[in-house]
Structure 1
Amino acid sequence: MLRQRDFRNFWTAQTVSYMGDQVTSIVLPLIAVMTLDASAADMGLLVTLQQLPLLLFSLHAGAWVDRRGRRRSTMIAANLASAATVATVPLAHFTGSLTLLHLYAVSFVTGTLAVVFSVAVPGLFASLVPREQYLSATSLSRASYSFSFVAGPSVGGAVVQILSAPFALVLDVFSFLVATVLLRAIPDREATGEGTADQEPKPAEAAEDAGKPRDGIREALRFLVATAVLRAKFVSGTALNFFYTVYSTLLILFAARDLGLSAGLVGAVVSVGAVGALIGSAVTTRFSRRLGLGPTYLVGCLVFPAALVMTPLAHGPQWLVVAMLVAGEFVSAFGLMLFDISGATLQQAITPDRLRSRMQGAQMAISYGVRPVGALVAGALGTLLGVRPTLWIAVVGGFVSVLFLFRSPLRRVRDLPDEAEWPRPGAVGTVPTKE
């Protein structure tokens, strides 16, 4: 797929933009801790505001993009707005006017723009990738997000250590601009009426299908409830996102204050997770072909939270602490790629073209929408029980919460499933349950 210029530009832009989002997500908390002396409760609120748009806007953003079409231009606009928003933080820092309230506002706005960008991705993906290449292309596409999820913190921490937090955000602004240039190099097929690789409806047809915003949202939710494989995927993804957010909200505070690690060392530890993610993305296709898509998803769901037990266990001399954190981050990131890539491939294959943005919005609202709740819980439990006990709750809770997958239809899915036959609103017929 990377030999195809348009997909290569799409994939690179996606990678750079997601990396910018994750650098922001780690640098803002570092600024809060090291510059503004934020408490555990402050950190919880900061992360909550960054994740809250997932819960508030994902469904509506997905319905809006399905009606509007023009996914490429939507992604470009989101990137430019993100660059302008992030640029206000180093400006405020250099003028001595930076406050926690400012960081809260930037977290919320950038989180909202990230939602708009993300819901537009599946439709543009379908316009560039033939169905028979979904697994390999999804491995690359989802690897962009998952890799940035683990590599972004390491890049941000390293830049903060070498230069300063404001300079890390300047690089972040630059990343959004680079992604914009790459997206502009992709032909706007929706605007020219050329259609998509999977015969996606033209914008006018998509708008007719989506109907009113609430109708479009209800249709996406009905499709989700009626599709057994996606239902199991959403439930497990929601549980993992909740407990991982509890974990990740307090990780920096725990590593910096309880374990005494510097920002650069924290970044170096997390960077090993990026290596695990790279290896995971490279072998997921092979795993999926040997074990099947569903079993690969199940294995990843178990490995991802279980490996993080090394963090609350960490104690002793610094070399041992670092070694334990490195082992946990590496194996966890490997598991993340297994379940994220296989799960995204299943969703892309099963979901009808005209529902793609709405289903992406539904995933972000449901599975990712629990992140602000997890951040608030992390702040509350970290204050009441302590940081290490809360990390234990997050790790054990994440592992136990996905054990139900052994009885779900996901374990029987071996090959790429067919697209679901979902009737248009008002059509007569039944909805098959995909297994």
Structure 2
Amino acid sequence: MVLGLGALGAAVGALAAPSLAARYGPGPMMLGALAITPLTQIPLLLASPGLAWQFAIGTALFLQLACAAAAGTTQRSIRQVVTADGMQARMQAVSTWLTSGARPVAALLAGGLGTWIGVRPTLIVGTCLLVVPLVILYRSPLRGLLDMPGPPAAPPPSPGALAQPAPSSWGPAVPHPAAAADVRRDRASGGGREPGPEHGR
């Protein structure tokens, strides 16, 4: 049930991201979401056995994943808008490789750290690491982004491309069957054109 509350928060954050970005601006909205995320770890750090703490952790996880989904949806939208069409697949592949590839390494380090110093100190370290994205975004130009950026301008065509005729969207031109048959008859008769009335005189 606790994890289900977190998943519901992720859905709510993703659905609310466009309206929040339009109202507060993409940059400030992402900064606010990243600032709230470390605070949602506090109930987990203070928790003790009991039903009340389970509800507290579930509520905190709902808010944490809502903030993560809102910020993640917005930054992915910005990334897709500012990336040229021909680079969309590469951009998405690199992003997926970085995020998915880091998860097994992070899980291994967290497990080793939890074994070495204990679970609660490891959670404190993880909470402190959640501040790093906030600092990076705050020091970047994105903090002042109040509107979604437009797509990149198309590069001007080269002089060689201007000199060449534009290809037809229907493929290469195909001669009409009747015209092709006339040409074959002309070549078979040995003339450049079919004989007219003056040839009969």
Pair in the same fold by TM > 0.5: yes
Dislocated runs of 4+, deviation >4 Å: none
Question: How many Å separate the matches in 2 of 1:341 and 1:383?
Answer: 34
Q: Which amino acid aligns with 2:84?
A: P
Among 7, 10, 20, the alignment partner of 1:287 is: 20
Who is 1:126 aligned against?
none
| 2:77 aligned counterpart, secondary structure | helix
> Distance between the aligned counterparts of 1:378 and 1:363, measured in 2?
22
- Tell me how far 1:323 sits from its aligned partner: 1.9
1:308 aligns with 2:45: no
Give the corresponding residue for 2:125: 393
Aligned-partner Cα distance in 1 for 2:66–2:118: 28
Aligned length: 155
Alignment check: 8 A CA contact 2:5 2:62 kept: yes
Question: Which residue does the alignment assign to 1:406?
Answer: 138
Native 8 Å contact 1:310 1:327 kept in 2: no
Q: CA deviation at 1:408?
A: 1.2
Amino acid at match of 2:94: A
Any idea what the Cα deviations from partners look like across 1:321-355, whole Å, max 9, x if unmatched?
Answer: 20221121111011012101111110111111111
What does residue range 170-209 of structure 1 map to in structure 2 within 5 Å?
Answer: none
Contact 1:346 1:416 in 2 (8 A): yes
Give the match for residue 256 of structure 1: none
Q: In 2, Cα distance between the equivalents of 1:336 and 1:422?
A: 33
Distance in structure 1 (CA, Å) of the matches to 2:154 and 2:100: 25
For the pair 1:336 / 2:68, whether they are aligned, the reply is yes
Is contact 1:300-1:338 (8 Å) kept?
yes
Identity of aligned residues (%): 32
1:236-251 equivalences in 2 (<5 Å):
none
> Are 1:419 and 2:151 an aligned pair?
yes
Q: What TM-score, normalized to structure 2?
A: 0.70
For residue 105 of structure 2, the aligned residue among 367, 373, 393 is: 373
Cα separation, partners in 2 of 1:360 and 1:422, compared to 1, 3 Å: farther
The 3-state SS of whatever aligns with 2:146 is coil
Structure with higher Rg: it is: 2
Task: Give the CA deviation at 1:308.
Answer: 2.3
How far apart are residue 401 of structure 1 and its match?
4.5
**Alignment of 1:362 onto 2:104:** no
Aligned to 1:69: none
Instruction: Measure, in 1, the Cα distance between the counterparts of 2:96 and 2:8.
Output: 26
Change (3 A) 1:417 1:314: same
- Asked if the contact 2:17–2:70 (Cα under 8 Å) also holds between the matched residues in 1, the reply is yes
Q: Is the 8 A contact 2:34 2:133 kept in 1?
A: no
| Contact map agreement 2:82 2:149 (CA 8 A) in 1 | yes
Partner of 1:352: 84
1:77-130 CA deviation, whole Å, 9 max, x = no partner?
xxxxxxxxxxxxxxxxxxxxxxxxxxxxxxxxxxxxxxxxxxxxxxxxxxxxxx
| Contact 1:269–1:326 (Cα < 8 Å) also in 2 | yes
Deviation at 1:384, TM superposition (A): 0.4
Q: Partners of 2:138 and 2:154 in 1: how far apart?
A: 27
Q: For the Cα contact (< 8 Å) 1:284–1:341, is it kept in 2?
A: yes
RMSD over aligned Cα atoms: 1.9
Cα offsets for 1:248-302 (capped at 9, x unmatched): xxxxxxxxxxxxxxxxxxxx10111122223222321111111111222222222
